[in-house]
Structure 1
């Protein structure tokens, strides 16, 4: 028999199946109440708007362009719309600063490829987005803990990176309603990340996938906006802003974007030319039409729905969780992070929950680059109604209470 392991590149050993992707299969089981997948509710998709957009494309002369090869940078009208959107976030930029990718996940993969050599260090929060770890892992990095409001010195990061045989290359974080915790980095924390990046001379990758989903509290300027305010122009900045239409319009179209200084964008364009030439043109055209006709209305609709579900889950947690259990209280996004008593294992709890309580969630360990966090779990409210939330959290609370009591 062929020994494929001997043929694969060494980086393939760092590739792992996504626990979340596997858990999404549970959504098809009618007896499981799932809080596992942090995915948008399909009932809220602007499907009629997309139906009209695709019909317009196919019924016009633009269909030939929609079905043809296109430029790697992305569909120009979509990039022009994004320039206006960025300006509204205090991120003034030009067309050359905007690059379209096939979902922001592709952007993370490209950035890992661009910056990481084997043994280099990526700074990530503990916990962090699992998909980012999967994207970066292929490039064989080491990880160190990024603490936006902590007291780690630049020299300590340099020393740790040197011990593993490489250099610190970037800091990655989701500053707004992060996946998995739902927490937001305050302005002081964002400024500290920028200060650290300046002293280490590294990039900052700002994952803004949930930036539009704020339900209450005061908006905080994106890290890139803070840096532009200090340096005067986006081409003088080190922050790379990754955005997506997956959480607002439709994830299945796989349209995301990167906003950054022009030299970084030019390198990313070369990567796209080598990888897949360009993102789907017809999908970019449809996204453009739907966004131009009603992006703000769509965002308002989903924010109303998700904020109600968040409130329902927070109420249910307060009602059903036993003493000693804590959880985050996010101002937006799709997630709540639950911390169990020390010694309790989230993965073991999931196995029992699926078997007895019929409730699914994501064990927290997968989100930690060092494999810690075994006593944490992530629950998502985005696809759950009031009845599911009350019943599911009630069952989960009883199970946890039973496990605590032995």
Structure 2
């Protein structure tokens, strides 16, 4: 007997995450992995979490921490987020904040909130693989989000209508985007907001890496820019998705959304239907650790990861063939590599694992149409400087053996 013939058509767009599959390689000590977008566990604030967890499960606290809680989220954590958002130029209240099980859950809810089959989502080319995975279940059509391109809003809207739907949102990561590491400048952010106004669509701002800036000029989030334009968050179409995964620890699965109250209200209904709430214990512990050391801890991460970024950039400069190019991020966790035309990152990965025990993510996974196979993503946050250099040397040998010049 098989039930597969009963599966909903939406399951046809669900695919295994290439990144999640590659994470299994981390259990093999001989592999040097530049694959996952993973924070270094040696840098987790373990002692602070241990103290907070002990207090959270004490007899005095357990009646709260082990109990059901409001779907909106733990109020002290939402209040901390309100204070944090204020430092970014985003004035909000706890009623504008929803706690989610990581920002990935937020993306799933936003796909569910906005997309009817055949509607168009504007995304980067490339874009975050997890966003495509979250949106795919709702059967969107994808179009390229490129504020600098010659295609105007009217042409984008006409193409969406011809495909049987309408443009619903633009999804982007403005700071140190996954997978490219590229940051949008102020003019590009303004252009996205202008386009969204013309098309009358939502803007989903994925800010997972925003706190991890190591050099260069910091730009305000799109939501901050829009609030400055309109004077009130309630008048804004931008939806900000934040996460503690890259700053404190990913295993607790605590993220948040900041948006106008009608958006938050609808997402709360989705959360009630899906899982009732994000785990109370995880929220309480995260709130306490964030209150205790967030700024200090992030400053340490910037120093360590910044040094690893520079080590990888220097190693690429020393060892890569002349025909290979790459981005030069100012933060985040990734460098994006372009191979010569005609090369295939997936085939290169097979050779790299078999001959040199080095891993990365083939770039075509980050394109909605599976194109641009001559690209790959490298992560630098998980490896120290010596391991980074050794891994890049291995990768260079693979390229040399493959005839990449």
Classify the TM-score, shorter chain.
over 0.9
Q: Within 5 Å, which residues of 2 pair with 1:211-360?
A: 211-360=210-359
Using the size of structure 2 for normalisation, the TM-score is 0.99
The alpha carbon displacement at 1:294 in A equals 0.6
| Whole-angstrom distance in 2 between the partners of 1:68 and 1:179 | 36
| Whole-angstrom distance in 2 between the partners of 1:24 and 1:93 | 37
Report the counterpart of residue 154 of structure 1 in structure 2: 153
Map Cα deviations across residues 227-285 of structure 1 (whole Å, 9 max, x no partner). Answer: 00000000000000000000000100000000000100000000000000000011100
Report the counterpart of residue 368 of structure 2 in structure 1: 369
Report the counterpart of residue 101 of structure 1 in structure 2: 100
Report the counterpart of residue 400 of structure 2 in structure 1: 401
Which of 221-230 and 58-67 deviates more?
58-67
Say which SS state the counterpart of residue 86 (structure 2) adopts: helix
Map Cα deviations across residues 318-348 of structure 1 (whole Å, 9 max, x no partner). Answer: 0000111100000000000000000000000
The alpha carbon displacement at 1:405 in A equals 5.3
The alpha carbon displacement at 1:60 in A equals 5.0
Report the counterpart of residue 13 of structure 2 in structure 1: 14
Say which SS state the counterpart of residue 104 (structure 2) adopts: helix
The alpha carbon displacement at 1:404 in A equals 2.8
Q: Please say if residues 340 and 404 of structure 2, whose CA atoms lie closer than 8 Å, have aligned partners that are also in contact.
A: no
Q: Within 5 Å, which residues of 2 pair with 1:90-169?
A: 90-169=89-168
Using the size of structure 1 for normalisation, the TM-score is 0.98
Gaps of 5+ in 2: none
| Whole-angstrom distance in 1 between the partners of 2:346 and 2:138 | 27
Q: Please say if residues 328 and 335 of structure 2, whose CA atoms lie closer than 8 Å, have aligned partners that are also in contact.
A: yes
Q: Please say if residues 177 and 211 of structure 1, whose CA atoms lie closer than 8 Å, have aligned partners that are also in contact.
A: yes
Say which SS state the counterpart of residue 251 (structure 1) adopts: coil
Query: How many aligned positions are there?
Result: 405
Q: Please say if residues 364 and 374 of structure 1, whose CA atoms lie closer than 8 Å, have aligned partners that are also in contact.
A: yes
Report the counterpart of residue 171 of structure 1 in structure 2: 170
The alpha carbon displacement at 1:150 in A equals 2.5
The alpha carbon displacement at 1:23 in A equals 0.5
Report the counterpart of residue 34 of structure 2 in structure 1: 35
Q: Please say if residues 118 and 141 of structure 2, whose CA atoms lie closer than 8 Å, have aligned partners that are also in contact.
A: yes
Map Cα deviations across residues 173-230 of structure 1 (whole Å, 9 max, x no partner). Answer: 0000011000001110000000000000000000000000000011100000000000
Q: Please say if residues 362 and 377 of structure 1, whose CA atoms lie closer than 8 Å, have aligned partners that are also in contact.
A: yes
Gaps of 5+ in 1: none
| Whole-angstrom distance in 2 between the partners of 1:86 and 1:165 | 38
| Whole-angstrom distance in 2 between the partners of 1:405 and 1:78 | 51
The alpha carbon displacement at 1:153 in A equals 0.4
| Whole-angstrom distance in 1 between the partners of 2:57 and 2:104 | 29
Q: Please say if residues 56 and 62 of structure 2, whose CA atoms lie closer than 8 Å, have aligned partners that are also in contact.
A: yes
Map Cα deviations across residues 335-393 of structure 1 (whole Å, 9 max, x no partner). Answer: 00000000000000000000011110000000000111100000000101122111110
| Whole-angstrom distance in 1 between the partners of 2:287 and 2:206 | 21
| Whole-angstrom distance in 1 between the partners of 2:320 and 2:206 | 31
Map Cα deviations across residues 136-183 of structure 1 (whole Å, 9 max, x no partner). Answer: 000000000000332320111111111211000000000000110000
| Whole-angstrom distance in 2 between the partners of 1:286 and 1:229 | 33
| Whole-angstrom distance in 2 between the partners of 1:353 and 1:373 | 19
